[in-house]
Amino acid sequence: MVLREFLEKILALDKEMAASAAHTMEHALNPAVLERFVCFMAFNQADQVNSNA
């Protein structure tokens, strides 16, 4: 879900392409890399919320 959201919101892919690419990436990425990406996205979203407060 995090990858799909990134692909849709940041890279502006349409929903179908984002879902397909995210599925492929989730199965291809090393789990440690995927976990770090998820943490980065959570940090980035929290930072955006804090900067808008």
52: Cα within 13 Å, side-chain hemisphere? 6
pTM, rounded to two decimals: 0.76
pLDDT tens profile 6-43 = 999 999 999 999 999 999 999 999 999 999 999 998 89
pLDDT at 53: 67
pLDDT mean over 45-50: 77
Domain boundaries, the chain: 2-52
- Output the CA torsion sign for 7, 9, 13, 14: positive
Is it the case that residue 48 has pLDDT exceeding 70? yes
| Block residue for tokens 């397909």 | 20
What secondary structure letter does DSSP report for 10? T
pLDDT at 36: 95
22 and 11 in contact (C-beta within 8 Å)?
no
One-letter amino acid identity for 27?
H
